[in-house]
Structure 1
């Protein structure tokens, strides 16, 4: 059993409601247990209609945004599976997600799987009867666009890891990067599953966010980065140390860029030293370090 938990947006926007229902139906179609966390409008009704578990008692921050630590605690509490996954509620899955997860769980005990997504414009509720996998795979080939390697829309891991999560705000920048950093500094295998796992993100606007602004421009995103340990813990897919290819686990492909990045983060993920982390950052990024120093100096003088 793989248990997927998520914190949906309100089901008040017709398009958001459609893509969230599509995502949840796809998770059920691949055989996962599904848990919806939160008490936003329409979530309880969707959980009932789609016959999935509902945990409404989420804790919110001062802005009214659900907190990641609460979402993970409620999801873990309700989950039956030994494998857990947090997935954004606009993302559809195919059977390759389950197949890859189960095979890897037989080989490894502590790991995190993340990966790139496909972006697809979806405007109607989809049919998940016989042949749905072929239909979606055809859409990937003919209409979908490969998203850049920044950010993550799913996190797949064994139950025994990620038992502690800082009080991040959901739907804001920074917390997904911290997940990668945390796994690396704990010594778990961080695996890029992009080659084997095809996830489909359904396009949407930012009308659900305050002022319609992208999440990375909101104050909560800056607070997330601070809660996660600052800018040095902003890790990306390129900070994975393993990849999955045709169900085989391999070391992340070598390059000079990758080599020097691994050298740069040694003080952070191995020595756990903020002092040497900043020294190494200044050596590798002198202009950025200088700008940070000037900015901090100006803030103190103000």
Structure 2
């Protein structure tokens, strides 16, 4: 998908979000800021990820305006787990051509891609959770663990095994990203800072 998109669109960024995700203006703000500091990482591949906020039974009235999405997320949303990544924004230097043909919506691919990017590709991985409000439209029927309910739920794991890929799941949590965006208290401007509190499980191993 990314390979085809890069062929069709000559742009610095390419991105994917799951179809049940709602975004706010924090998306463009975050992207514009990371773009403005990308010169600090010349020719480096960059991957932006983050956690989502689950909101049960979102109504059309709640999401008519961006402020409505933000307020709904604050009032009745819950930040989801650190091992669930619903979007991947990469710059033009990210080598999607080297990524196996995983199936989106099945378990395992998200953490592996992030861990592989960190540990094997030397990618600048940015956790944008604090500046990018990502609302997941959750329903009572599911939406959080649906990837585990399909007949081919183990497809990605089986593909990794066939290709003898290194295990990168724990290295690919959102909290393992070496960089994170945040808003300053006084000005609410977005900044990028390097994490100095990575968990020991985030340490890459050969």
TM-score, with normalisation over the residues of structure 1? 0.55
Instruction: Give the 3-state SS of the residue equivalent to 1:190 in structure 2.
Output: strand
Aligned to 2:37, the other structure's residue is in SS state coil
Partner of 2:121: 186
Residue 136 of structure 1 corresponds to which residue in structure 2?
69
Structure 2: runs of 5+ lacking an equivalent: 39-43, 184-189
3-state secondary structure, aligned to 1:106: helix
Q: For residue 214 of structure 1, report the CA deviation from its aligned partner.
A: 3.2
Give the deviation of 1:119 after TM superposition: 0.5
Q: 3-state DSSP class of the match of 2:102?
A: coil
Q: Give the match for residue 223 of structure 1.
A: 158
Q: Are 2:43 and 1:100 equivalent residues in the alignment?
A: no
Query: Which residue does the alignment assign to 2:85?
Result: 152
Bigger Rg over Cα: 1
Instruction: Please identify, of 137-146 and 231-240, the stretch whose mean Cα deviation from structure 2 is larger.
Output: 231-240
1:83 aligns with 2:13: yes
d(CA) in 2 for partners of 1:149, 1:99:
23
Q: Which runs of 5+ in 1 are unaligned?
A: 1-70, 269-302
SS for the counterpart of 2:167 is helix
The question of whether the paired residues in 2 share the 8 Å contact of 1:192 and 1:237 is answered with: yes
Alignment deviations for residues 258-299 of structure 1 (CA, whole Å, 9 cap, x no partner):
2x335x42x43xxxxxxxxxxxxxxxxxxxxxxxxxxxxxxx
Q: Decide whether aligned partners of structure 1 residues 135 and 125 sit closer, same or farther in structure 2, where only a CA change above 3 A counts.
A: closer
1:249 counterpart residue number: 192
Shift of 1:240: 1.0
Tell me which residue corresponds to 1:47.
none
Is the CA contact 1:117–1:146 (under 8 Å) kept in the aligned structure 2?
Answer: yes
Aligned-residue RMSD, C-alpha: 2.9
| Counterpart-to-counterpart distance in 2, 1:178 and 1:105 | 25
Distance 1:245 1:188, change over 3 A: same
The reply to whether residue 110 of structure 1 matches residue 37 of structure 2 is: no
Deviation digits for residues 66-125 of structure 1 (CA, Å, limit 9, x no counterpart): xxxxx2223333335321111111111111111111111121253111111100123554
Q: 2:109 matched to 1:166?
A: no
8 Å contact from structure 1 (residues 90, 201) kept in 2: yes
Equivalent residues of 1:175, 1:224 under 8 A apart: no
Where 1:120 maps in the other structure, the secondary structure is strand
Aligned residues: 189
Is the contact made by 1:173 and 1:215 (CA closer than 8 Å) also made in structure 2? no
CA-to-partner distance for each residue in 1:166-187, whole Å, 9 max, x for gaps? 1111211111112212221211
Aligned to 1:239: 176
